[in-house]
Structure 1
Amino acid sequence: MISVCIATYNGEKYLEEQLDSILPQMDSCDELIISDDGSKDTTLDIIKRYIAQDHRIKFFRGPGKGVIANFEFAINQSQGEFIFLADQDDVWLPEKVQTTLDFFAAQPKIDLVISDLVIVNEHLEVIEPSYFEYRKVRLGFLHNIVKNKYIGAGMAFRSRLKTRILPIPAKVPMHDMWIGLIAAYRNKSALIPQKLTLYRRHSNNASEINTKASFFQQLKWRCAISYVLFKRIFFNS
């Protein structure tokens, strides 16, 4: 069983296309968890329409505290052995779920994977053919504290990782960075080279590919996440 977790907020423009790319890849026993953070557009109407047609969709009203807390809440609801994170505005390629599950089956010691993505614009036209190449993605705990490359849109992990990543500290820069670093610390992460997601970039994205934060803000983030990481690792060892 897999759980797909989507955190929505005013996602009416692209949500249907994302749902239509995910649902055909899911088995009847799987679940699609949608946590909405107080959308004011037609997002809830879209979700209600899909729920009426598909019993696998489970809807929750999120905590209303931003994207990190919304994803944390969605992950908390998940029941599947494998948890996939999904943005509301991307498109999954048809082989994403099966390719990811095959990788996990071949690598039983790996807790978390990140698959490559194609960076596209709002019309799904290619901007960069490989996120991995564009961002020079590589694994490593210290490397990704200094310059994070872990991306939730390509992320899936085993449910046994939940006890280590939850709760997600409020002061971390982004949920995917936290989750990736927790897995990386124990060398339990891996990269899937196949491009399995169309990663859509537009004017209303909740995250940035390249941060515009100042050097001092980034340094503050790194200090904060280093503190909570080592605190979590120490007490959960």
Structure 2
Amino acid sequence: MDKISIVMATYNGGRFLKEQLNSLCKQTRIPDEVIVVDDGSTDNTLAILEEFSKVLNLSIHINTNHLGVNGNFEKGLNLCSGDYIMFCDQDDYWLPNKIELMYKKMLEIEDKKTPCIVSSRDTYADINLKESPQLNPYPSYIFYPKKNCDYRETVIKHLSQGCAMMLNRKCLEYILPIPNNEVCYDYYIGFIVAMIGKKYDMKESLMLYRVHGNNVTASINNNYTQIPKRRHRNPGVVPQHFIDTYNIAISQKQNYFIKERYNYVKRIISLANNNNSIWRHITILFSTPNIPIKLKYTSLKNKLLNFIFKV
């Protein structure tokens, strides 16, 4: 029987950790192992983990040095033994059928010789896990792929939230090691698998993503979005931190990329180059498929503004 591992990163998460672990206990398909990497918690996190180790096959690995989000999840990936692996944050809540439905979808789409990811959606919720769509900072069209296995959907829309992923073990041959503090681990993993293997993006929401102001991965994503500050308007169709991730992944994994997919990414990256002429920008923009109209409009507007104001 296939083995499913959950990799969880914790750090002073005692406030919400019990609810998350309870949601794992209530799954219709119970995980075979839960690998927890703790980054040096000083609250009651470890006590809660010890309590749940009696009802889940849960092992605790405490870091002697602070590793951060990417380092914690990379360590967990190296420790887990499952055929299929899921990431888990310490402060969300998984719906009871999350593992079961994602596992079934993985079996439908998987080729065991190829790295495969199944990625579901989530529902934004407030601190009390009350659904609150207004907390979602992203346009609705970003999270609804037109074609579930089209790599271009991942390139344009990201669709790679770590806590909503299931990976087959073949992925580990390509995604490790994860660059430390250079990229968001989930952007990096989702992009690489989309370039090499198969990534299926489900439309179903299977978890509550709790927004409470101190979300670790949200703050990491925000840092990558804001740093370094760009003085000019981004004429590209994806944020600069997407481009940064793509460039790092290309520098490390390009030899594995499917040529057609790599060529598509090069076109997307080129749109962020403010040195392109307006006509070259327009040509690339309107000859590249799968770019939403709203993004085309924004890209063209920024390009024209940069030209007018000589930015």
Specify the TM-score bucket, using the shorter chain as the normaliser: 0.7 to 0.9
Q: Distance in 2 between matches of 1:190 and 1:30?
A: 23
Q: Distance in 1 between matches of 2:140 and 2:11?
A: 28
TM superposition shift of 1:228:
2.5
The question of whether the paired residues in 2 share the 8 Å contact of 1:172 and 1:178 is answered with: no
TM superposition shift of 1:233:
1.9
SS state at 1:208 partner:
helix
Name the residue aligned to 2:176: 166
Judging by fraction of residues, say which structure has more strand. 1
Name the residue aligned to 1:228: 248
SS state at 1:125 partner:
coil
Of 155-164 and 102-111, the range deviating more from structure 2: 102-111
TM superposition shift of 1:48:
1.4
- 1:116-155 superposed matches below 5 A: 116-128=121-133, 134=140, 136-137=142-143, 138=145, 144=154, 148-155=158-165
Name the residue aligned to 2:68: 66
- Structure 2 vs 1, CA of residues 32 and 146 (structure 1 numbering), >3 Å: closer, same or farther? same
Identity %: 28
Judging by fraction of residues, say which structure has more helix. 2
Q: Distance in 1 between matches of 2:104 and 2:154?
A: 26
Which of the pair has more CA radius of gyration? 2
Name the residue aligned to 1:107: 109
TM-score if structure 2 supplies the norm length? 0.67
- The code of the aligned residue for 1:79 comes to S
* Number of corresponding residues: 235
Name the residue aligned to 1:35: 37
SS state at 1:60 partner:
strand
TM superposition shift of 1:149:
3.8
SS state at 2:61 partner:
strand
Structure 2 segments unaligned to the other structure (5+ residues): 232-238, 258-311
1:162-185 Cα offsets, whole Å, 9 max, x none, are: 110010012432111111001111
Q: Which has the higher contact order (CA 8 A, sep 6+)?
A: 1
Q: Distance in 2 between matches of 1:95 and 1:55?
A: 17
Q: Distance in 2 between matches of 1:146 and 1:229?
A: 16
The question of whether the paired residues in 2 share the 8 Å contact of 1:116 and 1:130 is answered with: no
TM superposition shift of 1:30:
0.5
Q: Distance in 1 between matches of 2:59 and 2:183?
A: 27
Name the residue aligned to 1:216: 230
Of 132-141 and 30-39, the range deviating more from structure 2: 132-141
Structure 1 segments unaligned to the other structure (5+ residues): none
TM superposition shift of 1:134:
3.1
> Structure 1 residue aligned with 2:211, among 201, 207, 214?
201
Name the residue aligned to 2:188: 178
Name the residue aligned to 1:7: 9
- Structure 2 vs 1, CA of residues 192 and 184 (structure 1 numbering), >3 Å: closer, same or farther? same
Indicate the RMSD between aligned Cα atoms, in angstroms: 2.8
TM superposition shift of 1:234:
3.2
